[in-house]
Amino acid sequence: MKLTQRKIEALVCPEGRKDALYFDDDRRGLAVRVAASAKTGSLEAKNFLAQFTVDGQKRRVPLGACSAISLDAARKATAAMLGEVAHGRDPAAARKEAAREAKRKADHEALTLSALIEQWERIRLAEKRESYASEAVRALRFAFDGHLKRPAADLSRHIVVRLLDELTKKGKAAMAARTAAYGRACYGWAIRRGSLAENPFAALPLAPVAKRDRILSDEELRSIWQATEAPGVFNAIVRTLILTGQRREEVTGMAWVEFDNGLTTWSLPAARAKNGIAHIVPLSAQARANIEARGLRSAADEANPASAFVFPGRGGPFNGFGKAKAALDEASRVKDWRLHDLRRTVATGLQKLGVRLEVTESVLNHVSGSRAGIVGIYQRHDYAAEKRAALDAWGAHVEAIVENWRPVSNVTFLSHGCDR
């Protein structure tokens, strides 16, 4: 039939069929598909399509709804497709490829670096330690802040190297190395999922990271202690690091529910421990006094999420370390040190006090060294009493340093206290 607008409106699908095709006598290859739901006098449920044959295979390409495009436009589109067929091309295949390319482009634009990091955090990092997850996300967002809204696939190796080099030039080679490791893990995960094709963090030529061995002297420890005398969250964190030897993130996230009623023991849950192992930290008299000075959480604070933490910040644990550490350096006049050096200082101090290596490692929640391998598997002694004695001795030792007494020289003098 020669199709006209009025004839198309009158078309209906024969009863018992899902649809029917009506071809145009005026334009070869043009047809109207009429669905069973189509009604006479209406253009609804009626669509134009072009039909042609390529390499002996019949192809049908939808052109659009009869209510959306005119009959003349449908005839011209069909004629154009038949012209492509005459030149040996397949319009149907070209359309499919164009649709795939459009989807690839849309996916490319939609998967920004920020979206990728969010997916990685929500799906993959949910299986990791909370401390690792938060640090990994923070490091990537900090280092690549200017690229977060851009497609993740556009983050080139050149850009990655340049930005990590900038960190290294600022004296943050260790942070650059950690950020590279986080980025490599994030992109590697995306590649395995089929979201990305290349990893710009793979085998990066990073500057070597010098192993730190900084240990604070008694004089430096005294200066830092005196500089943290004023009330304040950061000052209390620093003193807790000095007295317990625990990791910064673990201390910063310290919650009131992690203490026993007498505030004599801090129970670090596995989810917050860097090595994923729950840890019991006995609190010396000095550590208890420092924490008690923060005040206990009251029932009136229940509505404030940050009040659950001993060292609160905005909406969670304290996180303003940059400016606070710079102010402490100026006040204490101690140079070239990091908060993690306090942990190394405690470990060395315990050794000087005569604490056995396996007890020191238990205090620090270390699983390497004397607690690694087969020893770690079969050695189940928790060293609770030894850890308490060691940290009590260390607390007294720090107090002696601060008050400029003569510190005890060996843990065997614990029962006699400190000599003034």
- Tally of structural domains, the chain: 3
Domain-ending residue, one of 41, 66, 101 = 101
Same domain as 63, residue 23: yes
Same domain as 84, residue 176: no
What percent of the chain is modeled with pLDDT above 70?
A: 89
Query: Which residue, among 257, 265, 244, 259, has the nearest Cα to 395 in the 3D structure?
Result: 244
Q: Is 23 exposed, middle or buried (0-12, 13-18, 19+ CB in 10 A)?
A: middle
CB 361 within 8 A of CB 370: yes
**pLDDT, tens digit, 9 for 90 and up, residues 62-120:** 999 999 999 999 999 999 999 999 888 998 888 888 778 777 777 677 789 999 999 99
Query: Which residue, among 270, 232, 261, 245, has the nearest Cα to 361 in the 3D structure?
Result: 245
Same domain as 260, residue 349: yes
Higher pLDDT, 216 or 379: 216
- Domain of 281, in residue numbers: 218-416
Stretch 276-286: mean pLDDT = 92
CB 376 within 8 A of CB 268: no
Same domain as 131, residue 57: no
Pick from 32-41, 256-265, 380-389: least confident: 380-389
* SS3 labels along 273-326: CCCCCCEEEECCHHHHHHHHCCCCCCHHHCCCHHHHECCECCCCECCCHHHHHH
96 Cβ contact partners less than 8 Å away, ≥ 6 residues apart: none
Average pLDDT across the chain, whole number: 87
Radius of gyration in angstroms for the set of CA atoms belonging to the chain, rounded to a whole number: 35
What count of other Cβ atoms lies within 10 Å of the Cβ of residue 43? Answer: 17
Whichever domain contains 360, its CATH number is 1.10.443.10
Please identify which residue in the block is written with the tokens 């006098």: 41
Same domain as 339, residue 407: yes
Residue 400 token pair: 């002696």
Domain-ending residue, one of 158, 178, 193 = 193
123 DSSP 8-state letter:
I
Any bridge partners for residue 64, and if so which? 48
- Report if residue 198 sits inside a domain: no
CB 31 within 8 A of CB 74: no
What percent of the chain is modeled with pLDDT above 90?
A: 65
- Report if residue 213 sits inside a domain: no
112 DSSP 8-state letter:
B
Whichever domain contains 51, its CATH number is 3.30.160.390
Stretch 208-220: mean pLDDT = 82
Whichever domain contains 134, its CATH number is 1.10.150
Amino acid at 104: R
Q: How confident is the model at residue 373, as a pLDDT? A: 45
Same domain as 238, residue 170: no
Q: What is the pTM for the complete model shown? A: 0.57
CA 418 to chain centre: 46
Instruction: Report phi then psi at 372, rounded to 5.
Output: -90, 170
Higher pLDDT, 213 or 244: 244
Q: How confident is the model at residue 172, as a pLDDT? A: 86
Same domain as 401, residue 284: yes
Q: How confident is the model at residue 412, as a pLDDT? A: 47
